[in-house]
């Protein structure tokens, strides 16, 4: 039960709660039980165009607020998010299937971006550059970019919004948020709290839809949208990038991954297993930075596989609202089928099933460990996005770096070793935007999040994240006497 009435059944545009102009709605269901949670507006291009217009109309007055005033609004939003932490977490678990403890952690993690960028709003410093002649002065300032479109994924329905929206709002840019159709209710709850925090009408807008392609196209092609931030698949990211080319929008794209997790012979194997569980099985293996490939060196290979298998066997599967559950359902039948296909392909090509490997009732799948994985398996090149851990064997450092980098993706990577020299060598050699060294949990508001190669463009979070929501302007003062 949402005691603070956080379940909203309308979209939020220009400071008002509205239905789709067509009157259409779509259902949001609990992936753990299949039960209907709510029916909400199924909006189209016309609806989202109205949201863009409202955002653009609010831009000039909002950007003229002082940094302190914008920071104050963000701090109020931050306080409201934490004040409603349990209700937000409960709602997130109901619509996404994520286990409750992880949902609580996500609310805190998501709120940390709001707090961070509330503070960064006051630190968007410019620069004074020494001029080449005495009669000139050169100054650099940073300004709000304009309307920002935020397209967010279902696997982190709260944090992926705050990571995009908080820096935009801090910079003086209004936002149009398009959450996924699987998890729109958390997004609407955040909009409700932003309204309570006092953001002016038009500054914060949330549109809900099942017409992702058409609505996304409007956000890409509409010239009033100056910046688009997207988290999702590489395939969709390329489409959005192409559609944005006609207006040359500024882009932030956090796309697919194929994260390696390397355990060297000299590693603390118990620590590596603990890190592996955190980096692989959080949110049932459905996170952007989830490990997709485990590599264990010859000497400790069997020890690592045995201890990982034992730890995985102890994970309980069930409804995320149950306090002792660590693995919830997959988000959809499509996601479940992908997991099944990856496991079946791996076993057919020689992988040894050490644990799990079976579909359960509904959208649940057993946490799985596959030993003796090889490069010809589908799971070696594609994200499984489920609770499956394939373990590859390697002999030398040079060999495993080549194996780890043998992918078009480069979002996150992890490795365990006690050798300080190796820490530097391997961290620098891995083609990845983020590297966890003897650590399985790396996401943090103060650190830049993003990938290389086909894992994306740009960074979110940290002091670096603010620049992607601002324009740099050069001022040249002449005739100085």
Q: What confidence score (pLDDT) does residue 5 get?
A: 83
- Residue 288's domain comprises 259-444
Tokens of 115: 């707090």
- Same domain for 207 and 239? yes
- Same domain for 93 and 179? yes
CATH at 369: 3.40.309.10
Is 188 part of a structural domain of the chain?
yes
Is 449 part of a structural domain of the chain?
no
Q: What confidence score (pLDDT) does residue 279 get?
A: 97
Q: How many domains does the chain have?
A: 2
How far from the centroid of its chain's Cα atoms is residue 128's Cα?
35
254 is catalytic: yes
- Same domain for 410 and 316? yes
Residue 358: Cβ within 10 Å count: 11
Report d(CA 403, CA 434) in Å as an integer. Answer: 17
Tokens of 425: 């060598």
Phi then psi dihedrals of residue 196, to 5 deg: -65, -30
- Same domain for 371 and 282? yes
- Same domain for 309 and 330? yes
First to last CA, the chain: 70
- Same domain for 363 and 468? no
Q: Which helix (H) or strand (E) holds 412?
A: strand 412-416
403's CB contacts (< 8 A; 6+ apart) are 260, 293, 295, 375, 392, 394
Report d(CA 277, CA 387) in Å as an integer. Answer: 10
For every one of its 481 residues, what pLDDT tens digit does the chain have, with 9 covering 90 and above? 445 589 999 999 999 999 999 999 999 999 999 999 999 999 999 999 999 999 999 999 999 999 999 999 999 999 999 999 999 999 999 999 999 999 999 999 999 999 999 999 999 999 999 999 999 999 999 999 999 999 999 999 999 999 999 999 999 999 999 999 999 999 999 999 999 999 999 999 999 999 999 999 999 999 999 999 999 999 999 999 999 999 999 999 999 999 999 999 999 999 999 999 999 999 999 999 999 999 999 999 999 999 999 999 999 999 999 989 999 999 999 999 999 999 999 999 999 999 999 999 999 999 999 999 999 999 999 999 999 999 999 999 999 999 999 999 999 999 999 999 999 999 999 999 999 999 999 999 999 999 999 999 999 999 999 999 999 999 999 999 9
Is 344 part of a structural domain of the chain?
yes
- Same domain for 365 and 338? yes
CATH at 42: 3.40.605.10
- Same domain for 42 and 88? yes
Q: One of 254, 383, 397, 460 is an active-site residue; which one?
A: 254
- Same domain for 198 and 284? no
Nearest to 467 by CA among 171, 59, 161, 129: 171
Is 211 part of a structural domain of the chain?
yes
- Same domain for 221 and 282? no
Is 104 part of a structural domain of the chain?
yes
382 is catalytic: no
Is 481 part of a structural domain of the chain?
no
Tokens of 133: 């002649």
Q: Which helix (H) or strand (E) holds 475?
A: strand 470-477
User: What's the Cα-to-Cα distance from 299 to each of 67, 266, 389, 420, 441, rounded to whole Å?
Assistant: 56, 9, 19, 19, 26
pTM of the model: 0.95
- Same domain for 109 and 192? yes
- Same domain for 302 and 363? yes
Q: One of 115, 182, 244, 288 is an active-site residue; which one?
A: 288
């Amino acid at each position: 039960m949402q005691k603070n009435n956080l379940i909203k059944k309308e979209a939020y545009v220009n400071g008002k709660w509205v239905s789709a102009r067509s009157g259409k709605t779509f259902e949001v269901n609990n992936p753990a039980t299949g039960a209907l949670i709510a029916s909400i507006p199924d909006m189209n291009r016309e609806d989202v165009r109205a949201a863009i217009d409202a955002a653009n109309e609010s831009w000039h007055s909002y950007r003229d607020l002082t940094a302190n005033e914008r920071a104050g609004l963000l701090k109020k939003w931050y306080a409201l998010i934490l004040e409603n932490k349990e209700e937000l977490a409960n709602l997130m678990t109901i619509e996404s299937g994520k286990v409750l403890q992880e949902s609580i952690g996500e609310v805190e993690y998501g709120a940390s971006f709001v707090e961070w960028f509330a503070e960064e709003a006051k630190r968007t410093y410019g620069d004074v550059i020494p001029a080449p002649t005495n009669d000139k002065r050169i100054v650099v300032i940073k300004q709000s970019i304009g309307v920002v479109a935020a397209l967010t994924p279902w696997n982190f329905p709260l944090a992926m919004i705050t990571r995009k929206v908080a820096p935009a709002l801090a910079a003086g840019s209004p936002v149009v948020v398009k959450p996924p159709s699987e998890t729109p209710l958390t997004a609407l709850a955040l909009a409700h709290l932003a309204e309570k925090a006092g953001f002016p009408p038009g500054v914060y807008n949330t549109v809900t839809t099942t017409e992702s392609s058409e609505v996304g196209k409007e956000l890409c092609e509409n010239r009033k949208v100056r910046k688009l931030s997207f988290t999702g698949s590489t395939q969709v990211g390329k489409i959005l990038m192409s559609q944005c080319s006609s207006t040359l929008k500024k882009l932030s794209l956090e796309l697919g991954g194929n994260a390696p997790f390397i355990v060297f012979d000299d590693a603390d194997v118990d620590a590596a297993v603990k890190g592996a569980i955190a980096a692989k099985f959080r949110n049932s293996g459905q996170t952007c930075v989830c490990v997709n490939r485990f590599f264990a060196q010859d000497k400790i290979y069997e020890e690592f596989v045995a201890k990982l298998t034992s730890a995985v066997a102890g994970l309980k599967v069930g409804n995320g609202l149950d306090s002792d559950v660590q693995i919830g359902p997959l988000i959809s039948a499509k996601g479940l089928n992908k997991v099944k296909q990856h496991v079946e392909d791996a076993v057919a090509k020689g992988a040894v099933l050490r644990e799990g490997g079976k579909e359960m009732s509904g959208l649940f799948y057993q946490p799985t460990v596959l030993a003796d994985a090889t490069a010809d398996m589908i799971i070696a090149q594609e994200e499984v996005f489920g609770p499956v851990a394939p373990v590859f064997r390697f002999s030398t450092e040079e060999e495993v770096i080549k194996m780890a980098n043998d992918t078009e993706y480069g979002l996150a990577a992890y490795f365990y070793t006690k050798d300080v020299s190796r820490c530097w060598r391997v961290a620098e050699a891995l083609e990845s935007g983020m590297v966890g060294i003897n650590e399985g949990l790396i996401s943090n508001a103060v650190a830049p999040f993003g990938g290389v190669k086909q894992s994306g463009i740009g960074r979110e979070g940290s002091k670096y994240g603010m620049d992607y929501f601002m324009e740099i302007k050069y001022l040249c003062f002449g005739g100085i006497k």
